[in-house]
Chain A
Amino acid sequence: MNFKICYMYPDVLSLYGDVGNVICLERRARWRGIDVSVTRMPIGSKESLSDFDFVFIGGGQDFEQQVLLEDLHSGRDREIISAVEDGVVFLTVCGGYQMLGEYYETFDGKRCGFIGALDLCTVGAKERMIGNIKFDCDSLGIGTVVGFENHSGRTQLGPGAEPLGRVLSGFGNNGEDGSEGAHYKNVFGTYSHGPVLPKNPAFADLILRTALERRYGSCELAPLDDTAELRAHKEMCDKL
């Protein structure tokens, strides 16, 4: 078995320790004897997305998002949409999550068009939403997820996207409707840094299993000793 990871835009979207998600999946696959390859795709890369099992996109600075738009709109957007529709597993965090939506509108009314792979849109606000977050992902069978959010964008989901979870503590998508993140086909979008996967091993394994099942039909993941992970998970659960 070979698990092929694509790490998109590591050159501009790697600000809040989100690379930890890639490290986490790579380790958890290797510990189970699964081969892993990680391909970094910076701006300007021409490599095709179609052959990957999993695509990760993290968060970055607003300043650099402009640069990214040019790259996205030079054909990458259509490729991402077809990969999403094709069932490729995505984890997108914060800026990367917003980017899969329809558009981002700054608080003074300037709108930039995004990919439109997910039915959601984001409007900027002056006040940032910053702090630890806890949300419930029972519908995905992975229980409670904990992390850290830091965003000024308020995201509204359209009817075509389900929330990833319900906020138990923190702000989530917009601080109002109690939703956090989005789930569509095999795309998991979230505002949670932390990074989110290491401290939530059930979430990490859901992603790994979904990706491997898509390629190999069925997949049983061998259990791992998650003592350290669950200690960190529980500590934050108890704190919030």
Chain B
Amino acid sequence: MKLRMIAAIMLCKLLRFSARILHRGGTAMPGRYALKLCPNLLTLLAKDVETVAITGTNGKTTSARMVEQAFADAGLSYFSNRSGANLNSGIVTEFVMNCTLGGKMKKKYAVIECDEAAAKTVFGQLKPRVIVVTNLFRDQLDRFGEVTYTLQVIREGILKTPESVLCLNADCCLTASLAGDTPNEVVWYGMDKGALSEPGKADLSEAARCIRCGEEYEFDYINYGHLGGFRCPKCGYARHECDYAVTEIISQELSGTTAVFNARGEANTVNLALAGTYNVYNAAGAMAAVCTMGLGTDTAVKALESFKCGFGRMERFELGRSGATMMLFKNPAGCDQVLNFLKGVKESFVMVICLNDRAQDGKDVSWVWDADFESLASSDGRLTQVVVSGDRMNDMAMRLKYAGVPEDIILLESDYEKIVQWMERQEKHIFIMPTYTAMLELREVVVRRTGGKDFWEG
């Protein structure tokens, strides 16, 4: 067995090294071959590592990076799967890159972002000390089927690791249901009633009815989507009180958000360098995870305040006269959050929207009709021009037309080099909305011209 493990580790390291000198990302492929050689490799490597695993539909990457920031600040010896390689094979590669040839881990801690579908197999192997589930929204229905199915595979994953402490988003009635079905200890986080002075767009389409009995929920308040104070009048299933709660959002600006986080009864005012209500949720989840790992609230607060997002999530670039912000969008809930954020932008702006339909984006692009692009049309002329690109740019342009965006401000351009040249000529701030694979490609072109980092360097 030991020999198999060593052979798998050597193969994985070799493949990864080759991929790197050939300038391919090479995050998943080495792990895939290593697993063929030694199927329980991850179990063997992960047993001596204290892991925080993060899954859920939206906010995985940002939450993971926030936890990582706290680990770095605390001087812990840790590693993470930084480049979005969040399936089984990518996670294995990351573990192998952090172990010796003999299979001994060089780091004591890990922050692992885990795809929802992979949670089923990966959780049992990782045996994480803490599992964060951020939220569940419909996403890539062509891949996952229905959202209740996604919930089921996460549940199956958790059932294989009963010692893990769960940090659950109390405001998501789907996520919260994991608590009743698993023996694990639960730490709750969320956003209390009255925290938001102006709630975002409510959309209950995937969670209008009780996951337990089918009755229609009653809501005390909704922060956005279906996240809020839910209660089933029939079976009594209801939002749990939070251990880590956002009690007040003091200000929301383009440059950041100030909010009060109540950590087990102790109020902390935190200045996040991130915009968007969804990032306040990410911060609350990260705080719950960091504190559950035994680091102090002070460490969590300091990390949240110094954290700057990256890799396509509210990532800033020096482009054109006023700069650019890249905001990944993947599904209706995430897209609505980005569009809601744009409603708060006071100055006029231009946009680039790139819609792809590859496996990682979801092959079905129907969902763009569920997102509130109408809000761009009613932006009082603040949106002055929008370049539409990507494999499905024609569908995207049509969506904008039907949303009421004037056709004469919509430009179609498939060439990313030309788009970046266009961006360099802009006077106004540029908001870039790409789907996942479009983000990878467009970001690479942008990074090359602005001198940033490649993606596997994070």
Q: Is the CB of B364 within 8 A of A16?
A: yes
Q: Is the CB of A199 within 8 A of B148?
A: no
B residues in contact with A23, CB < 8 Å: 369, 402-403
Q: Is the CB of B366 within 8 A of A18?
A: yes
| Cα distance, A62 to B146, chains bound together (Å) | 8
Q: Is the CB of A12 within 8 A of B366?
A: no
Q: State the Cβ distance, B183 to closest chain A Cβ, in Å.
A: 24
Max count, chain B CB within 10 A of own CB: residue among A150, A231, A232: A232
User: Which of the 9-residue segments A32-40, A63-71, A114-122 touches chain B?
Assistant: A63-71
| Cα distance, A150 to B365, chains bound together (Å) | 12
Q: Is the CB of A199 within 8 A of B141?
A: no
| Residue of B214, B366, B401 touching A16 (CB-CB under 8 A) | B366
Q: Is the CB of A131 within 8 A of B369?
A: no
| Residue of A66, A195, A235 touching B214 (CB-CB under 8 A) | A66
Interface residues of B in 112-142 (CB under 8 A from A): 138, 141-142
User: Which of the 9-residue segments B3-11, B38-46, B203-211 touches chain A?
Assistant: B203-211
Given known contacts A12-B209, A193-B366, A228 and B394 CB-to-CB distance under 8 angstroms: yes
Q: Is the CB of B395 within 8 A of A199?
A: yes
Q: Is the CB of A61 within 8 A of B364?
A: no
A residues in contact with B216, CB < 8 Å: 43
Contact with B along A200-229 (1 / 0, CB 8 A): 000000000000000000000000000011
| Cα distance, A140 to B205, chains bound together (Å) | 33
| Cα distance, A62 to B147, chains bound together (Å) | 11
Q: Is the CB of B398 within 8 A of A232?
A: yes
B residues in contact with A20, CB < 8 Å: 366, 369, 399, 402
Given known contacts A12-B209, A61-B146, A193 and B364 CB-to-CB distance under 8 angstroms: yes
Q: Is the CB of B366 within 8 A of A14?
A: no
| Cα distance, A150 to B403, chains bound together (Å) | 25
- Please give me the residue from chain A that is nearest to B203 by CB atom: A14
A residues in contact with B395, CB < 8 Å: 199, 232, 235
Given known contacts A27-B402, A228-B394, A63 and B146 CB-to-CB distance under 8 angstroms: yes
B residues in contact with A132, CB < 8 Å: 363
A residues in contact with B206, CB < 8 Å: 15, 61
Q: Is the CB of A16 within 8 A of B208?
A: no
Q: Is the CB of B367 within 8 A of A229?
A: no
| Cα distance, A61 to B148, chains bound together (Å) | 9
| Cα distance, A23 to B148, chains bound together (Å) | 28
Contact with B along A63-85 (1 / 0, CB 8 A): 11011000000000000000000
A residues in contact with B204, CB < 8 Å: 11
Q: State the Cβ distance, A187 to closest chain B Cβ, in Å.
A: 22
Instruction: Contacts A15-B138, A148-B366 known; list 14 others, CB within 8 Å.
Output: A14-B370, A15-B141, A15-B146, A16-B366, A17-B370, A43-B216, A61-B148, A61-B206, A148-B142, A193-B364, A198-B369, A228-B407, A229-B398, A235-B395
